A and B are shown apart, each in its own frame.
Chain A
Amino acid sequence: MAHLSPVAFAQLGRAFAQRSAAHAVSWGWVEGESTGPFSTPSVGYLRSSPVLVEEATPHEASHEVPTDGGDDDTLVGGASGARLELHIVYGATFGVPLLLVQGYSSAGELWTVSEVRSHLMAASKEGGAPIAADSVSQIEHPALGVPFASLHPCRTAEWMGAILQRESGDAPQQLDYLSAWWSVLAQSVGQRVAPADARAWMLSA
């Protein structure tokens, strides 16, 4: 099992944002803010540059969870203009990074959670690591307090533990948790991290 503290997440997040400048999806680090009388500010988070994707189809606008096999036709090949906004936030309960996704149509309308779910199911299938419909649900963004679709983090600490253990022979001190995590999760949102890039990212901390 591999967990992160909020402080370690923030340190890795700032470095991750710096290293991502030259990549197709670049990331910015947003510092946490103090809210109300709480002594500590919320944990900061990473926000991606816009990711252009195909528009959601009218079918997706319904509130139905797609059934197995029904996700091949959920995206149309029309003019792209829709975009995804990706956030990586700190999951306080499990002590792991959490991928949050919001989609917008070309007209700027917010995607429903069903539309985001359909998109992620199709994108992850294409990326070779299909996700199940029930692994996507809405949660409250821990820093912004607004709804975002989230990929469930229940087993993240488990598989991150396996990755870190496997890599520990190579570079016990240098493996970057956040980059290693993203190299796996990127596929779920249709992003690819080239193996060389992933290796360089992971070891460059």
Chain B
Amino acid sequence: MEGEEALMRAAAADAWAGEIPAVFVLATNEVTTLEPPVPFHLCLARQSYLPFTTAEVVDHFKPFAPPMGGGEPWYEHDGQPLRWHVPLGVLFDLHAGLEAEAELPWRLTVHFQGFPATTLLSTANAAAEGWVLNALKESCFLRCGSALPAMSLSIAEQKKLTHALTTNDFREYCAVAERISAAMAKSLGASGLPHSVPVRVFTSPVEWRQQPAAPRLPSGGSTRLYDVLVSLLPSVFESSSSAAPRVIVQGVSVPLETPLLWLHGACSHPDGFLYVYVSCSPPSTAPQIA
């Protein structure tokens, strides 16, 4: 058990170290200067969100772009607006696929005008900070039946969380996460077993379900990733005729037998949710899933 715990902690640190090389360009119809600006290269932290990591990008392109006029910057990949409230690593997996097969650096277009308000949530008024905190409250509620562990974070701790997401600082994040875990442990009692494991399953950039799952099966065994997916997507996981789906967590194809609770501890995002992408139409070179 201790070995598994250590492995889980190491995997969590690895997940935090994950970055995506990206290159930003200004939308050609928004270039107001004779010469277009040079592209901006940046490594994006998988665990973070666009609004926390793109201040430099905005500063770089601002002198070349038209005035925003009270609007806000937004980003697209291959013509699709990027929904910033999805963690960056998940966004990349959904839009670009497995890192080993994707075209890198990830090419993103920056817009300063025409914010698609009917598609994207606004980032104004520190909405991203609020979004993460609200998601954290939800995941706390699903795990221990109360949102209080997240709601009782002090302003300083909330700022620390924001800073950790901005600088991709795992240690700083751990300090906040441990405070939340300690508060949850009080409500969970001696077993420490959560009521449910908060999971969000995507099948495309816009199709997803939230599926909290009990950590143990009625038979007493550990709930596996497969158990969650087969209940949500029986046509995909029970059918022998359809092509084997790829199940991606943190950019990696994951064995379906992986215990869900362990996977959550190792690979969940800072909002407390485990994000799983099920790609139902794998390319012909799809690796075999165990």
**Which A residues lie at the B interface, using CB under 8 A?**
35-40, 61-65, 92-94, 110, 112-114, 134, 137-140, 145-147, 152, 154
A140 to B209, CA, bound (A): 12
B119 touches A137 (CB 8 A): no
Query: Residue B213 at the A interface, CB < 8 A?
Result: no
Give the residue name and chain of the A residue nearest to B233 (CB). A37
**In the complex, B130 has a CB within 8 A of chain A:** yes
Q: How far is the CB of A186 from chain B (nearest CB, A)?
A: 24
Give the interface SS of chain B, mostly helix, strand, loop or mixed.
loop
B70 touches A36 (CB 8 A): no
Name the distance in Å between B114's Cβ and chain A's nearest Cβ.
Answer: 13
B120 touches A36 (CB 8 A): no
Partner of A38, one of B85, B121, B141, B207: B207
Interface residues of B, CB < 8 Å — how many?
35
Contact of B124 among A35, A113, A139 (CB under 8 A): A113
Across-interface contacts of A61 in B (CB, < 8 A): 70
Q: Are B124 and A39 in contact (CB under 8 A)?
A: no
Query: Of A93, A113, A134, which is within 8 A of B138 by CB?
Result: A93
How far is B89's CA from A94's CA once the two chains are assembled, in angstroms? 26
CA distance A152 to B135 in the complex (A): 12
> What is the CA–CA distance of A147 and B233 in the complex, to the nearest angstrom?
26
13 A-B residue pairings within 8 Å (CB atoms): A63-B70, A92-B210, A110-B117, A114-B124, A137-B127, A137-B130, A137-B131, A137-B134, A138-B121, A145-B206, A147-B122, A154-B137, A154-B151
Closest A residue to B148 using CB positions: A154
Contacts A61-B70, A92-B210, A154-B137; is A146 near B127 (CB within 8 Å)? no
